[in-house]
Structure 1
Amino acid sequence: MSTARGDDAAPRTIITTDPELDDLNSMLRLLLYSNEIDIVGLVYSSSQFHYAGDAAEGRPPFRWPAPGAVFHIDQAVDAYARVHHNLVVHDDRYPTPEHLRSLIAWGNVADVGDMAADTPGSDLIRRILLDDEPGRVFLQVWGGHNTVARALRSIQDEFGATPEWPRLRDRISAKAVVTSFGHQDHTFADYIRPNWPALESREVATRVWGYFARTVVADEDQHLLTAEWTRRNVTAVGPLGAEYRVWGDGKQMADGFDAEDYFGLSGLSADELAAQGYEVWMPPQEQGAFISEGDSSNFALLVDNGLRSWVEPGWGGWGGRQERAADDPSSWSNVDEWDSARWIGEFQNDFAARLRWSVEGEYAAANHHPVVRVVDGLERTAAAGDVVRLTAETWDPDGDEVRVEWWQYVEAGTSSSTLELDVVGETVSFVVPPTASPGERIHVICTARDSGTPTLTRHQRVVVTVPEE
């Protein structure tokens, strides 16, 4: 991965994750983006939903895999190893399986909120936070915050009483960004926020990729969650697809009976499941259908699709768009389910294409992303009333036709004005609203879609700033 880092360079990231079935699904998808996302750690952790227990303390495990089970990070990397030789045909930046295995570490898993002692996983996070490599580090929390909290606590324990502590805390607070699917233990509220008040937190939970996706996805996109689409594009496509959890696949998460896990069963109604002792907290679906992939919103904002949604939480993209919390200036959370759901078609097609790469050993046998570049640059300054003209250049590595669309991402900007876009071919022009105030920013997106199968998309985000007087 490149070591040249700036706001537009994909940042490094560490994933902490518990053994929930949707964490496996998100991990499988994540590895297909390891050519574009700079992964520097894959860490097992616990949550309120899954923890290992501690026999010495007399604490039993809770919804934890059976002894000797292959845990989900290793399961996903093992599948990746079987297809790596194909993936590098399509992009030689895919890391080796050996490199990915070197990033796996066990974090704090003994209990919900466990941060009692340093672990290999918390030490890995600590080491990255203290290194001198420039740029931000995204700490993804797919389970509880506890292993991240332990790493921060370890740093505070070592340096908190030293003269350099205020400077070091400020440096780490500027370097680290925590993203999470909710708060699945108490350690953020109890330790991280009181002791690291300036550390940025993005809560990226969205129903769009979770268990209740069907309640928010638009009607025209519902087919992307069906058994037919999932079989054809995911579970029937090679070793990575075969590991992907779907309804009625006969698998389970934990050792023994788990009243919350009935996803491996098929052909039973909610009443029939309840009669067997299950707590039916979401309606059963057709065999082979999408279950959940909730944690994918954590890494989706880091995908190098041209939206650059990692730069600022309000910019929006595949991982949703976040707004600042009213009571905490350093915390942000996803807003507007439509702003997340609008991207599901792109993200699913992208997933399907990459799975196809994993089984095709010839470049020409699969579709690849179009390339789009705004020749005028991505950061522009223009005064109120000025005319802005932007031109895109496109090409496609497969020789496909590329269709360009220009549009204003109103919600991402700080101007409430709607532009009138004059589009001629691959060029757009517009007038900055005469009422625009100094400092306002307008986001204009150039979207390029190819004619391949599945259709693949790339973007360029142009941010136009009205200068201060």
Structure 2
Amino acid sequence: MTLRNDATPTDRARTIVTADPELDDLNSMIRFLLYSNEVDVAGLVYASSRFHWSGDGTTPFFLPEREYTEPQLSWRWAPGERFIDDAVDAYEQVLPNLLVHDPRYPSADALRAVVRMGNVQFEGDVSEETPGSQLIAETLLDDDPRPVHLQVWAGTSTIARALMSIEERYSQTPEWPEIHAAVSRKAVITKFASQDGSYDSYIRPVWPDIRVTDVATMAWGYLARRVIEQPELEYLGAEWMRDHVTSAGPLGALYRTWGDGRQMVPGDLTDYFHLSGQTADELRELGYAVWVEPQPLGEWISEGDTTNMLNLLVPGLRSHEHPGYGGWGGRARRVDEGPDAWETRGAADAAPDESAPDESAPDEYTVTRWFADAQNDFAARLQWSVQSTFGGANHAPVVAVEQVDRDVRPGEQVQLSAVVTDPDGDAVTVRWWQYREAGSYHGAVVLSGADSAAVVVTVPVDAVAGQTIHVIVEAVDDGVPALKGYQRVILTVV
């Protein structure tokens, strides 16, 4: 079942989220629901990983971690776990306000209708079909021709089981080559690393043509402070989190921050994020396995899996069209793990001159360059959730360019015009810029009038047929917080 309503355009990215009950998955789920107007939500599936599984209640598993010397019946999975349902319940409370700001938000019941339990008993378990794996298989086989963006916030076992079911059903039939090819084209997997073995043991060898992008980065996770630099570190601070997130209604109150007194599973020795005021050594003395340095009360903890979703949320950036385009979730590079395998880590973007005069490429800058934009937009949407009038919160400018794909010739001067409107009547500043790393022509391109709604792009005379030039028009308003709208134009040299 896919969520649809009359206001839903068919070009919205269609997606299924698979997630385990890590606190960062809860935080990512809160963000995702605030953007459920921008995507077509086909499924919200509970999944397991090597870090979280429910067990079957009878089979003990021995964990090699020194803190757990006794066999475990389950691993960091609370009885009756319902973090997705809790997030949808909070969403339901604020839905009347959200609909004031965008009528495309789905109902809470429509979201609940696509919540499923996946393969959660053990890490990597694909021994049987589950409601979650069946939903994924049915979606991949349905008549909707759009790609299905399968977000892996946990392990891949539920997706692997879905693909196994398709193989079991069709592999001995004449239709198998056609179905295998069609599913391989339709499924688009983004994963935060491989949190169980089912990708390497099954998906990669049996379904090698599925596009897979590994989006594991530090920038949105527990280690964000290693790559986020000033002034963006403000967005991880307790004051910003309190003023813009945790104080913003039911969804904000559900969001996890350091020292909030909530623990995922009572007694979990790897989860000390509910505490504050202790040093790492003091936490170790209490028996905790300290794997992330403790932070002050109220600060950001993690949204590690958010890189799975971010490139689906900003249609104008078109970053969901190809892993190499780049957007809020980063830009990926090809890796030698299959014919269509990509990885965000290791892709490099040069920083703008004002922040790095030597044009260095800071670690994970393909992601961090957008961090402030994404956080400000998140803060605005949390305000949507508590403001019952349209004028009570800010909304991003809307940017439109009539032709976003154009054929050009070397030496040609190409005029591009954007129509920019602001829903709140705010003043808007416009700039055009070349995303050099996203295109296959990597040299600098002259943009005349880059600070106006119309720009003239001079195609370099040394550009050769087949090369692409990516130009982005960006509009920022003077609202609070300041928000951005975008449109990417791709010029292809012929």
Q: Structure 1 residue 408 and structure 2 residue 434: aligned?
A: yes
Instruction: Tell me the equivalent position of 1:466.
Output: 493
1:74-131 deviation digits (Å, cap 9, x = unpaired): 1100100110111101111111111111111000001000111000000000110110
Q: Structure 1 residue 201 and structure 2 residue 203: aligned?
A: no
Counterpart CA distance in 1 for 2:256 and 2:60 is 32
Tell me by how many angstroms 1:395 deviates: 1.2
Q: State whether residues 28 and 305 of structure 2, in contact with CA within 8 Å, keep that contact through their aligned partners in structure 1.
A: yes
Q: State whether residues 202 and 313 of structure 1, in contact with CA within 8 Å, keep that contact through their aligned partners in structure 2.
A: yes
Q: Structure 1 residue 298 and structure 2 residue 308: aligned?
A: yes
Tell me by how many angstroms 1:4 deviates: 6.1
Amino acid at match of 2:119: N
Which of 209, 223, 226 pairs up with 1:215? 226
Counterpart CA distance in 2 for 1:41 and 1:133 is 15
Tell me by how many angstroms 1:266 deviates: 0.4
Instruction: Tell me the equivalent position of 1:64.
Output: 76
Count of residues in Structure 1 that have an aligned counterpart in Structure 2? 461
Residue 194 of structure 1 aligns to a residue whose secondary structure is helix
Q: Which consecutive residues of structure 2, in runs of 5 or more, have no partner in the other structure?
A: 62-71, 349-363
Residue 219 of structure 2 aligns to a residue whose secondary structure is helix
Tell me by how many angstroms 1:305 deviates: 4.3
Written as runs of structure 1 = structure 2, the 5 A alignment for 1:41-440 is 41-59=43-61, 60-69=72-81, 71-254=82-265, 256-334=266-344, 335-336=347-348, 337-375=364-402, 377-423=403-449, 425-440=452-467
Change (3 A) 1:3 1:364: closer
Instruction: Tell me the equivalent position of 2:351.
Output: none
Q: Which consecutive residues of structure 1, in runs of 5 or more, have no partner in the other structure?
A: none
Amino acid at match of 2:75: R
Q: Please, what TM-score do these two structures have when normalized by structure 2?
A: 0.91
Amino acid at match of 1:456: L
Tell me by how many angstroms 1:58 deviates: 4.0
Amino acid at match of 1:181: F
Counterpart CA distance in 2 for 1:444 and 1:32 is 28
Counterpart CA distance in 1 for 2:312 and 2:131 is 25
Q: State whether residues 57 and 74 of structure 2, in contact with CA within 8 Å, keep that contact through their aligned partners in structure 1.
A: no
Counterpart CA distance in 2 for 1:115 and 1:418 is 50
Q: Please, what TM-score do these two structures have when normalized by structure 1?
A: 0.96
Which of 15, 18, 23 pairs up with 2:17? 15
- Identical-residue share of aligned pairs (%): 50
Tell me by how many angstroms 1:204 deviates: 1.0
Tell me by how many angstroms 1:191 deviates: 0.3
Residue 179 of structure 1 aligns to a residue whose secondary structure is strand
Q: State whether residues 137 and 162 of structure 2, in contact with CA within 8 Å, keep that contact through their aligned partners in structure 1.
A: yes
Counterpart CA distance in 2 for 1:416 and 1:425 is 24
1:155-208 deviation digits (Å, cap 9, x = unpaired): 001101111101100000000101111110000000001100101101111111
Counterpart CA distance in 2 for 1:230 and 1:415 is 40
Counterpart CA distance in 1 for 2:300 and 2:75 is 22
Tell me by how many angstroms 1:304 deviates: 2.9
Residue 368 of structure 1 aligns to a residue whose secondary structure is coil
Taking only aligned residues, the RMSD between alpha carbons, in angstroms, comes to 1.2
Q: State whether residues 301 and 319 of structure 1, in contact with CA within 8 Å, keep that contact through their aligned partners in structure 2.
A: yes
Residue 340 of structure 2 aligns to a residue whose secondary structure is strand
Tell me by how many angstroms 1:3 deviates: 7.2
Runs of 4+ in 1 over 3 A off after TM superposition: 1-5, 56-63
Amino acid at match of 2:406: R
Tell me by how many angstroms 1:417 deviates: 1.1
1:254-311 deviation digits (Å, cap 9, x = unpaired): 2x32121110000000110011111111110010000000111111110134101010
